[in-house]
Structure 1
Amino acid sequence: MVCSIDHLASAAGVTALDRGGSAADAAIAANAVLAVTSPHMCGLGGDLFALVHDGSAPAGGAPGGTVRALNASGRAGSGADAGRLRGEGHRLMPHRLDVRSVPVPGCVDGWLALHARYGRLPLAELFAPAIRLARDGFPASPLLAPRVRDVADRPGAADLAGVRTAGDRVRRPGVARALEAVAAGGRAGFYLGEFGEGLLELGAGEYTRADLERAHADWVEPLRVRAFGHDVWSAPPNSQGYLLLLSLGILDGLDLPHSTTSAAWAHVLAGAARAAAHDRVAVLHEHATGLLSPAEIERRRAAAGRRDLPVPAADGDTTYLCAVDGDGLGVSLIQSNASGFGSFLFEPRTGINLHNRGIGFSLEPGHPAEYGPGRRPPHTLTPALVTRPDGSLRAVAGTMGGDAQPQILLQVLTRLLRHGQDPGAVIAAPRWRFGSDTGFDTWQRAKSAEGTVVELEDGTGWQDGLSALGHRVSPVPGGAFGHAHLIEVLPDGMLAGAADPRSLTGAAIGR
């Protein structure tokens, strides 16, 4: 089964499975299509994180498996200079239209690392659907079409300039060439080829050739917490995945109402999320450790009822996809430009838009996440994977949503693991989130409880109850509350999955 925001991508993933590919092949094929059809969310100019459950059984044939984490987030170029930015008057990293907020994109390195370890089919075969769509054209989705106006006049965005409404044909020949270059020449075909040359040109000293020669994907030790009788896994720092796990660890020791329709249920989850995340800006950096110790979980659990803590929030543009194959290999993959079209900058030769993940860096002198050469910024990308006590795979899950990703996944996994809801009900259920101005500013501009707004999606029924519990509540009709996807492996090996209806064109496809 493959779940993604685009039926074209999910279909490409299932085609890879039909041809004997692994779940990793399916994930790469699906992500390649999304890199073509969803430039407002992800692409070859962005970053990638993934979790993989290898489905292997230990000696004796008992259930089990190993979970591995892939960090394919790029590093700042050799020209990174926080002092220069401060001298120009910046207190925060530039949000858009500044190449200094563009670390070297890690997506392609991530695909290659995932394929090298778990792939079965050649990259040319996996990329074929994406290349065909990029060259021959695809219909602009209802999500893409209204966003194009943001960048239609930007240099390098000619491929998108003609889009007026959903269904308009879009061709991206430069992206097709980039995918062909990766298939033929590996990472050198991309990072040292047409794209790399254009990036060096655009960077004007931000990057060196050595920055592009350095691989930006690493297999790292995943983080884990026990909650609701399961092990929940996520990526370690520089990912904010620890926030999901910390929230679950806190929640597992609290008195949680049995009914998910109760406002008290949302109240308890919000308290756990606040206690986990209020100091993210101070503690999250690429070398952070000790964030999930039992003592730390207990300390934060004691603060879960406090209202005077700064609060994380809210929206952002990312894409999540997941795949599980017939051999039990499960992949939870999240890939992103960060904020919409990212930096609003386009590599001039291929027309690939570039992310702005560098907005996660700090400009505070001496901060462990300070912008500097070769450093990775704090990242919102939060893949999730769940295993049973015997080590077997229970679920892969994730969502878009910027700072709100851990909040959304906290609700998704609590419904699944604590309340036993099926994937369709879990994904479709209305959600809450903490409000903010952008999806990425809350860590820099902490808000007290007085300024905190709990935003509610249509249909929650929690408004009066949360208000009575002391929350400032704001209904957000038609608001973006994440595109979450989930595949559950049932005890008999059958798969149950759901793609988020909020994505409008998403699909969960099994075979």
Structure 2
Amino acid sequence: MHNTRYAPSGMVCSVDHLASAAGAAVLDRGGSAADAAIAVNAVLAVTAPHMCGLGGDLFALVYEPPGRDGGSGTVRALNASGRAGSGADPDGLRAEGHERMPHLHDIRSVPVPGCVDGWAALHARYGRLPLADLLAPAVRLARDGFPASPLMVPGARVAAQRPGGGDFTAARAPGDRVSRPGVARALRAVGVAGRDGFYLGEFGAGLLELGAGEYTRDDLAAPAADWVDPLRVRAFGHDVWSMPPNSQGYLLLMALGIADGLELPASPAHPSWAHLLAEAARVSGHDRLSVLHEDAKDLLAPEEIARRRALIDPAARLRLRAPAEPGDTTYLCVVDGDGMGVSLIQSNASGFGSMLFEPRTGINLHNRGIGFSLRPGHPAEYGPGRRPPHTLTPALITRPDGALRSVLGTMGGDAQPQILLQVIARLLRHGEEPGPAVAAPRWRLGTGGTGFDTWDAPDDTVVDVEEGAPWTNGLAALGHPVSARPYGSMFGHAHVIDVRPGGMLAGAADPRSLVGAAIGR
């Protein structure tokens, strides 16, 4: 359960051993870390539709190692999150009585999916092998069938009842063979014609049909992927990097900046360790609904981090009085023999997403539009061409000299920054190996709701504590409402690849994923 895998010249971690194996094979053929990441994600788009897919969005951080002339490496950030269609009409939703975006079964919560545009951008900049070759393992699994994973089966039973969800009728028990011929066709089209083979091909035609005015052909013709400047904070003697808005990556970095100035106990088993980190997460995120939108700036000002840190009481839970307004995902990481690292996260948002299926290929569509606001004039208001606030939070760590230390991330909706806060503290503050750091019990801030409503009422959040954690009684004594929860996927699927000073790689896939794997070469 606590296994750390080691490898000398490349490693892949993901939630599915079939996907990790596809990525490792790409590294063996001389592909880059970006090539391998695309191959892994493509397999996951077939085998893990309850987490991600071609109908979802993508974010990635890429570490470019120094050139032959030396110097520091460079961190690049790719935002491949889709935009609402030209027909987006917030007034229409409000007129129907909606106060927030519909969670399921409504095309208006489906921005144009950005995943394939993300693959195209990664491949254009860093690819070494032909795109069709990278997608070939995924095409084969979609065409010939793959074993249903234990985590997919419960959602597949529901998805199979929806229009267009017929691919999942075969997924009655773990190990049942599931094929997805429409997804195979879509992947082949991407391999032949790139992003236009997808957005302007069979999938795009079906999306226009299903959208019934929500999108135009021009919406689908416009690439959704942008290279942007990453965010960074210094914590525990390292630089930690994540995505800028519209991602909530700033919450991870702010919480780390706050935690770096707190007196954390020497052992993560001490209740104060969980208390201080949970409070760092709460003071970072309580106003997220007000401040996070695609154009947000200066969220990590040092004086603001210091101000929020000063709110924390080591001996009691804070009462938050700042105003607040009334998923699923998969993460993967790769490091190649040249030192390039890719931290990639790709998502449907909530389980199978919107529970809508593009009618020609059967690709399930995300519901990332639930991040939009329906409050008139809000900076994140639903509207044409806009990107919604996103929970996706990939992370990358560099050493003070600029060398790559770690690539890591997790699924988990609103809880992603909270999960990564704990894993990073274990790695950097306590010197744990990736295996124990990933497998250790966790806490998260919960409401018992959708997993995307943590900050609706910040003072009503409960600290969900995973089975086996040592903090339950201590947190309750410090004033936290505590709920005991079983060890499992509700606390994320975190994966880590750590780069040792001599170049040896140490990695771990989260045991909560059941079929995940860290594979080295």
Same fold, TM exceeding 0.5?
yes
Residue 291 of structure 1 corresponds to which residue in structure 2?
A: 299
Query: 2:454 corresponds to which residue?
Result: 442
Structure 2 match to 1:453: 462
Match of 1:402 among 391, 399, 413: 413
CA distance in 1, matches of 2:319, 2:80: 36
**Does 1:364 find its partner at 2:372?**
no
Q: Pairwise mapping of residues 17-416 of structure 1 onto structure 2 (< 5 A)?
A: 17-57=27-67, 59=69, 61-62=70-71, 64-305=72-313, 307-309=318-320, 316-416=327-427
- Residue 307 (structure 1) shift: 2.0
* 2:7 counterpart residue number: none
Aligned to 2:494: 484
**Distance in structure 2 (CA, Å) of the matches to 1:462 and 1:441:** 24
- How far apart are residue 415 of structure 1 and its match? 0.4
Per-residue Cα deviation, 1:18-56 (whole angstroms, up to 9, x for no partner): 000000001000000000000000000000000000112
Q: Distance in 2 between matches of 1:308 and 1:317?
A: 30
In the alignment, residue 479 of structure 2 is paired with which amino acid?
A: G
| Matched-pair contact (CA < 8 Å) for 2:468–2:487 | no
**Among 402, 420, 425, the residue aligned to 2:436:** 425
2:54 pairs with 1:7: no
Structure 2 residue identity aligned to 1:470: G
Relative to the length of structure 2, the TM-score reads 0.95
Q: TM-score, normalised by structure 1?
A: 0.97
How far is the alpha carbon of 1:120 from its aligned partner?
0.3
Equivalent-residue separation in structure 2 for 1:33 and 1:486 (angstroms)? 19
Verify the 8 A CA contact 1:278 1:310 in the aligned structure 2: no
Q: What is the one-letter code of the residue matched to 1:100?
A: R
1:174 & 1:157 partners in 2: Cα distance? 11
CA distance in 1, matches of 2:142, 2:275: 45
3-state SS in 2 of match to 1:116:
helix
Matched to 2:60, the amino acid is A
Counterpart contact for 1:279–1:310, Cα < 8 Å = no
Q: Which runs of 5+ in 2 are unaligned?
A: 1-10
- Displacement of 1:464 in angstroms is 1.1
Which sits farther off after the overlay, 218-227 or 458-467? 458-467
Deviation (angstroms), 1:308: 1.8
Are the counterparts in 2 of residues 2 and 508 from structure 1 also a CA contact under 8 Å? yes
- How much is the aligned-residue C-alpha RMSD, in angstroms? 1.2
- Give the CA deviation at 1:430: 0.5
Deviations 1:290-333 (CA, angstroms, capped at 9, x unpaired): 1001111111111233622279xxxx210000000000000000
**Match status 1:463 vs 2:488:** no
Runs of 4+ in 1 over 3 A off after TM superposition: none
- The DSSP-based 3-state class of the residue aligned with 2:290 is helix
Separation in 2, partners of 1:161, 1:110: 30
| Rounded Cα–Cα distance in structure 1 between residues aligned with 2:321 and 2:198 | 42
Q: Which amino acid aligns with 1:408?
A: I
Does the C-alpha gap of structure 1 residues 274 and 58 become closer, same or farther in structure 2, counting only changes over 3 Å? farther
| 1:249-280 deviations in Å (ceiling 9; x for gaps) | 01111111111110110001011101110000
Aligned mates of 2:101, 2:119 — CA distance in 1: 28
Secondary structure at the aligned position of 2:120 is classed as helix
Give me the whole-angstrom Cα distance separating, in 1, the residues matched to 2:353 and 2:320: 29
Which shows bigger deviation, 219-228 or 300-309?
Answer: 300-309
Residue 58 of structure 1: how far off its partner (Å): 7.1
| Counterparts of 1:122 and 1:73, CA distance in 2 | 24
Retained in 2: the 8 A contact 1:91–1:363? yes
Q: How many pairs align?
A: 503
Quick check: 1:507 aligned with 2:520?
no
Instruction: Report the secondary structure of 1:176's partner residue.
Output: helix
Tell me, in whole angstroms, the C-alpha distance in 2 between the residues paired with 1:310 and 1:167: 49
Instruction: Determine helix, strand or coil for the equivalent of 2:351.
Output: coil
Equivalent-residue separation in structure 2 for 1:261 and 1:440 (angstroms)? 28
Cα distance change on mapping 1:478 and 1:310 into 2, 3 Å: farther
Q: Which stretch has the larger CA shift, 344-353 or 294-303?
A: 294-303
Distance in 1 of aligned mates of 2:28 and 2:251:
36
Cα distance, 1:310–1:201 mapped onto 2, change above 3 Å: farther
1:193-234 deviations in whole A, cap 9, x for unaligned?
Answer: 000000000000000001001110000000000001100000
Contact 1:401/1:439, CA 8 A, preserved across alignment: yes
Which stretch shifts more, 183-192 or 468-477? 468-477
The C-alpha deviation readout for 1:50-99, integer Å capped at 9, x for no partner, is 0000112473x35x200000000000000001111001000000000000
Kept in 2: contact 1:274–1:304 (CA 8 A): no
Identify if the C-alpha distance between structure 1 residues 146 and 310 changes in structure 2 by more than 3 Å, giving closer, same or farther.
farther
Q: What are the Cα deviations for residues 382-436 of structure 1, in whole angstroms up to 9, with x where unaligned?
A: 0000000110000000000000000000000000011110101100110000112
SS state of the match for residue 268, structure 1? helix
Aligned to 2:26: 16
